[in-house]
Chain A
Amino acid sequence: MFAPLADWASSLEALTEHFPVLVVVLPMLAAPLCFLVRHANLARAIGGLAAVACFAMVVQLLGRVLDEGVVSYRLGGWPPPLGIEYRYDLINTFVALIVSAMAAIVIPFGQNPRAFAVPPGRHNVVYAVYALCAAGLLGMTVTGDLFNIYVFLEISSLSAYTLVAIGSERRALMSAFSYLTMGTIGGLFFLIGVGMLYQMTGTLNIVDLSERLADVSSVRTLSVAFAMLFIGLSIKLAVFPLHQWLPNAYTFAPPKVSAFLAATATKVAFYVMLRVIFTIFGRERSFEQMNLDRILLPLSVAAMFMGSIAAIYQLNIKRLLAYSSIAQIGYMTLGISLNSESGLVGGIVHLFNHAVMKGGLFLAVACILFRLGSVKIEDMRGLGRRMPWTMGAVLIFGLGLIGVPGTVGFVSKWYLVVGAIERDLHVVAFLTLVSSLLAVVYVWRLVEVAWFSKASEGSSAQTVREAPLAMLLPVWLLALASLWFGISTDHSAGIARLAAQQLLGTAP
């Protein structure tokens, strides 16, 4: 029944052609397999293999996109405006790279069984949900069809709620519930926006949509559609006043889940927001007709300050990191609202940098929880001497959050400040720097507790050992990445610049 494949080379080449769809299909294939095998380590192997393969495929695709421009794949062979198209351009291939890299870092190294409220023997389900979440996020990133984005958004969200809910504490359940409530409303707002756009243009393909929207004159419906899409995505992204679900969800989820979600879920929502603002509505309409910057700029600045100030007062390191995430999301949206190339580069590169830093920090918290059994900052007294590698990585990521030169955080803040100055928004540039000083405060709290205070007598911080290699390896991979991309900016910032030019339509 199947056509014989001539030899390895040609079969590999035939396979390369299908990479665009396999990126989504492979994790989706892994999910039911993980569910079926009923053995935790076997499921881990399947999920990990799929994630690593995905990462390899996205790397290959990124090379192709850099060489040839857009790579398009027609599902079922139907041509684009009719059928669903998977469309890889620079920005979404870049985001897909981050998502698949995080999946490849989080899934294969295993999960702490104590962090999950799953009966022993059923831990394979955890990997199935991870794989499903990764499939949803990757699908959202690569698809060129607006409704398809909604479907994948819900697939990834439903699995994210599940991952949060299986945290070992009972408070995880309630935070998953409010995450579900907020997330579903956000998804529905997005869906209404999609419906209105469909009503006006009769198409769901993003490229086709953007072309047809140029002829639409009804400003009112368009404004409502824009508002619906924007608010729906803002909930998913946790833009400042709509962030309430995030601190609890990240605090009570197992730390590796927090690492995965912090590094991917909000990033993909940010990507979709970029798509809506710059590709579908276009820069002119978004900023001149809808006055997006007047709304988003104050909200971003408020998020930067509110998140950082709230982070200073936290007693729990996970909650501290969660509030810091809200501040960092503020930096990303600031990049959009500056409405300039440098600003957008800053936003996109911060998307990458924050994924590296926050993913790494939460993975380090996983190490701390594994050895210390606590995530309270007070209990971490003197931990710098007992777990030097873990806390060393925390320090590197912390410096990145502040934006010290030589770390990734510096690169994105540099672009943001340049973007603000280019637009003559000196106040915003100043506020960006001030909010970085707030980051110094909360990072310093961690440093002080870990290195400059003595462990209290008889506390477990006096006796703990360094985390096992399998847990340190992913943390240090990310720590080295954060140093590497802080010094050599060709790859991260270079691709971000090209992607920004492609989004703004100013590509040379």
Chain B
Amino acid sequence: MENIGIISYGANIPQFRIKTEEIASVWGKDGKIISRGLGIQEKSVPGLDQDTATISVESARAALRRCNIDPQDIGAIYVGSESHPYAVKPTGTIVGEAIGATPDLMVADYEFACKAGTAGVQTCVGFVKADMIKYGLAIGADTSQAAPGDALEYSASAGGAGFIIGKDDVIATINHTLSYTTDTPDFWRRAERKYPSHGGRFTGAPAYFKHISNCATRLMEKMQTKPEDYDYAIFHQPNGKFPVNVAKKLGFSLEQVKQGLLTPVIGNTYSGAAMLGLASVLDVAKPGDHIFMISYGSGAGSDGFDITVTDKIKDLKIENAPLVAEMVEDKKYIDYGTYAKYTDLLYWE
């Protein structure tokens, strides 16, 4: 592939947090056991005035603050999410207007469970490679929903990251991307339903592990690489355990995984998860670092990326927007009652 890759990036994580133990206490469960079992200590919660559109806009603006590109040169915006504020009316147009990229712009909202954001990255890579656009903006963001009392309630959280994709002056080259896709109903949300349903343990071996492993193996075969050739590895992270287990199975070490592993402290940001992991890695990456990323979206599929950080990362004005680690630490704890209000669990007529 030509020198196509990431020009800049930005992230956004809402400030509110709820601890796993706080949720567990409401349902009469042992929070310590659940927290240890899932590998999640706490998760981020969106405020009443935050949703996928606000997280997407803030991520995009953070990316633009760090580089010198004219927003009018952005030719495409793709926002991947399973919690778009509208069922019909794009989030991407809100982003486009809010960053000054309209009107000569291609826009679409994507949905592919937790991998819609990385699907957007692939689309942008394609358009840039075809010289149809100068820059593309791909965002993965979610304010994910979980039914009260469901196992997902411990993990479903809020956050997102945006990546500006372009050619030449890239801070990280996307050497190759490929996907592994099958029809696997492990997790879904039917039309007009508020909360998703899932296949319990079926979400593990035939879904998450199969798709990530196959995508990872195919990508390493294509690139003729081995796990030890990479400095960092990022895997989709529905909880704190799955990404560590899949990494171990594939031959990656915890050392390679930990910088991109955020679920233990912010929960599963769904479409934002792998992308926030990549943002966290780029926050500390040095020229020459080799990054391996595999996202996963239920339904099901995985997108794999082989990325090399370039010298240009030193020119990125990283200080113009908060680092992922800073946003993780900038937190305010809330109790379950406040959580119920913020996540619209309370109904009244």
A and B, one complex?
no
* Contacts from A to B (Cβ < 8 Å): none
